A = this chain, B = another copy of it.
Amino acid sequence: MSDYQTALSTYDAESVTVRDRDLTSEIMGELDFGSTTYLLLKGTPPRDGEGRLVNAMLASLMVHGVTPHALAARLTYLAEPESIQGAVASGLLGVGTRYVGAMQECAAVLQAAGSEPDRESAVRAIVSEYAERGDPFPGIGHPFHKPVDPRAERLFALAEEEGLAGDHVALVRDVQSAFEERTGKELPVNVTGAIAAVCSDIDLPPEAARGLAVISRATGLVAEVIEEQSRPIAADVWHRTQERMTYSGDR
């Protein structure tokens, strides 16, 4: 009566199997968590250097000063301190298209460009599509990190070092140059664009690129919630917001 299939995991009384590895003897104690994540999301273990890149990508988006996600999680924790998972989920719901989650669309565009005859035409096609719609290209531009996003540069350097920087890294850099030329603005490849390109070069699908952001930010949100216990800010943010607020209803 089996008609569902999974390739993720199974278990019996004595063992748990994850992606055809014995969890306790082949993963726990043997693989770092970046490599484990690659194995789980991709189905095959990382080749040389790929695990290191995933570890770096997971580290890159955890925290970034005060963020809307961190504030939402801390406010929810203030209101419901019994549920760490609720506070983390509250903050994760903001890992959307506007901030931390832009790598999914970027990776989808970069991966689709493989159907173009060469990189130059791919760049032209991408630029004209976004310019026509008047939309910003996801993965380039940053309000604070200029002229470069140091996290993106580090990811690119690591990919070079490991010999894993391929067509997608090259493409996102050319797309960036084309947009900078067109607009006359500084538009660095940001960390989400770099993650999109690097994930594409190590064969992770766009959803997995967004998934790394979700895991990374979940980790940061756990830290925010724990820090809220010893260095609370949520109640004060709430009260200051109240003080600034005027009720202006009129009948």
A168 within 8 A of B: no
A151-B33 in contact (CB<8A): no
A6-B248 in contact (CB<8A): yes
B214-A84 in contact (CB<8A): yes
Contacts of A43 in B (CB 8 A): 249
Interchain CB contact (< 8 A) of A226 among B81, B205, B219, B226? B205
Q: Mark A1-35, 1 if CB is under 8 A from B, else 0.
A: 11111111111111111111001110111011111
User: How far, in angstroms, from A93 to B87 measured CA to CA in the complex?
Assistant: 7
User: How far, in angstroms, from A223 to B215 measured CA to CA in the complex?
Assistant: 11
A33 to chain B, nearest CB (A): 4
Please classify how large the interface on chain A is, using the bins under 10, 10 to 19, 20 to 34, 35 or more. Answer: 35 or more
Interchain CB contact (< 8 A) of A244 among B4, B234, B243? B4
Q: Which residues of chain A (58-110) have a CB below 8 Å from chain B?
A: 58-60, 62-69, 71-73, 75-76, 78-101, 104
Q: Mark A205-241, 1 if CB is under 8 A from B, else 0.
A: 1011011001100111011111101010110111011
A93 to chain B, nearest CB (A): 4
A82-B82 in contact (CB<8A): yes
A59-B31 in contact (CB<8A): yes
A79 to chain B, nearest CB (A): 3
A227 to chain B, nearest CB (A): 6
> Which 9 interchain pairs have the tightest Cβ spacing?
A80-B96, A79-B94, A32-B32, A10-B247, A211-B222, A24-B154, A33-B33, A89-B89, A28-B56
